[in-house]
Amino acid sequence: MKDFSYNAVMARSNEIMKKALGIDYSSFESGSASFDYEKMMCEVGYSLEEIIAIQRSVGVGNTPLIELKNITELVRKYSKKNYGARIFIKDEASNPSGSFKARRASNAVYYAKSKGYKGVIAATSGNYGAAVASQAAMQGLKCIIIQECYDSIKKGQPEILEKARACEAYGAEVVQLSVGPELFYIFLKTLEETGFFNASLYTPFGIAGVETLGYEIVNEIRERVGADPTAIVCTNAGGGNLTGTARGVLKAGALNTRIIGASVSLKGLHMGSDDHFNKKSFTTGHTGFGIPFATNPDRSDVPRSAARPLRYMDEYYTLNQGEVFYTTEMLAQLEGLERGPAGCVSLAAAFSIAQTMPSDEIIVVQETEYTGAGKHINAQLSFARDNGIDIFFGDSSLEVAGENIILPSNPSLIHAKEVDLNHTRHSFIKNVLEKHSDLSDSDIEFLALETKSSKEFVLDCINCIKK
């Protein structure tokens, strides 16, 4: 009998991961801090064209690209003359499970089936769980989804409960936990007990699956307007959405397209806090994931995360919760598209950013997600009010996460706030130095790639940190 105590399971984590993924992460290590990222991505074993074929075989991808003409017209009312870029949106809610996560799941589950695994497991409270469950049903595999769902008094967020319902509808078993450190332990223990495949969000399989999204966007915009998109805005949480999309954009040859990240600001709330858990109205697409995973991507459930957003991000913006809820309703009432609020984070950012761009430029909102039941803004706002959050119209810049949600009193108050990426890069390098004090030349080169900067920038940061 194996020892399944917390300490024993955690001590076996590398062994468990290797069996559950079929990837030996040690083979990519090349320095004290560096590793061969592109070699790791090659573990996918499929070309972009093969991944497209895999996805098409299960109805994933090739989603509509819609020009938001009415919202673009509204943008131009608040822009100076000859400004207000055209806004397009990629309607990923058209995928089988209702979000772009179907692209990640289709690749991972297909791989698991090809390698003889009998089932798949994912630890997620988001759309990815439904995507994995949907794809597992198509491939005839068993599926277990592990969620952080409740606070300590078993009060569950409506959005997470809705996603549990969706997972169960696709035939998955859902293990629901309260917020806390036990999630990774239960995840590892279940992987070891079942021998199932680790369909993590952060493997090369998942990230490569999103490359088709960026690739489609570029080629479809070229067909529609005869040019590359000026900018693509990606909702950013764990970083895989932005990473995969950006890699697809580069594979399509759009080297000058700006890759922009957008997150809901939950400044002041701690994601692991029992008290704060139900005081936030977004379970993904927020800074509680976006900042920590950008500055320390290997905090994920695999030894080396394939989601590394700082490698690809040109700009990063935050929005308040009220601005995103307002934009979600705007999309429904002006464009006839009722979609979930988490997918509208990037749309809220695009509404603001488009006002600074000439009217002949193109900005693409990279994804939508399905809505309904607990994911709908009415459910989210009702839950917030029940948890003591004040909700009113006014100046949304005054919103305080965990205390109030301020819906902007007019569209001009939707204002995306730019994050200082150099500060984020500095934090990334500081986190690396805390683990690896002595860095080689190859480590410095690696950090320059990781932060999309230069060796000089990395050395300046190191000198500053060590003073």
Counting Cα atoms < 13 Å in the Cβ hemisphere of 306 gives 28
The CA distances from residue 271 to 279, 306, 461, in Å, are: 10, 22, 28
Q: Which CATH architecture has domain 56-97+205-418?
A: 3-Layer(aba) Sandwich (3.40)
Whether residue 126 contacts residue 284, with contact meaning beta carbons closer than 8 Å, is answered with yes
Burial class of residue 285 in the structure, from the number of CB atoms within 10 Å of its CB (0-12 exposed, 13-18 middle, 19+ buried): buried
Region for 142 from its dihedrals, namely left if φ exceeds 0, alpha if ψ lies in -120 to 50, beta otherwise = beta
Sign (positive or negative) of CA dihedral 94, 99, 104, 106: negative
Alpha-helical segments (H) within 316-410: 321-335, 345-353, 377-386
- How far CA 89 is from CA of 14, 221, 222, 349, 365, in Å, comes to 40, 11, 15, 13, 5
Domain 6-52+99-204 class in CATH: alpha beta
DSSP alpha helix (H) spans, 63-181: 69-77, 101-114, 127-139, 158-169
Q: Where are the domains of the chain?
A: 6-52+99-204, 56-97+205-418, 434-466
Residue type at 394 in one-letter notation: G
What's the rounded Cα separation, in Å, for the pair 48 and 55? 11
Cα-Cα end-to-end distance for the chain = 51
Q: How far apart are CA 376 and CA 340, in angstroms?
A: 6
**Cα Rg for the chain, rounded, in angstroms?**
21
* Tokens read off for 86: 């055209």
Q: Helix, strand, or coil here: 231?
A: strand
Per-residue pLDDT for the chain (467 aa), expressed as one digit of tens each?
A: 789 999 999 899 888 988 999 888 889 988 789 999 999 999 999 999 999 999 999 999 999 999 999 999 999 999 999 999 999 999 999 999 999 999 999 999 999 999 999 999 999 888 999 999 999 999 999 999 999 888 888 888 888 899 999 999 999 999 998 887 788 899 999 999 999 999 998 999 999 999 999 999 999 999 999 999 999 999 999 999 999 999 999 999 999 999 999 999 999 888 778 888 888 888 889 999 999 999 999 988 888 999 999 999 999 999 999 999 999 999 999 999 999 998 899 999 999 999 999 999 999 999 999 998 888 999 999 999 999 999 999 999 999 999 999 999 999 999 999 999 999 999 999 999 999 988 999 999 999 999 999 999 999 999 999 88
Identical topology for domains 6-52+99-204 and 56-97+205-418: yes
- Residues facing residue 235 across a β-bridge: 262
> Which pLDDT score, from 0 to 100, does residue 315 have?
98
Q: Other CB atoms closer than 10 Å to residue 392's CB: what's the count?
A: 10
Give the pairing of strands 315-319 and 417-418.
antiparallel
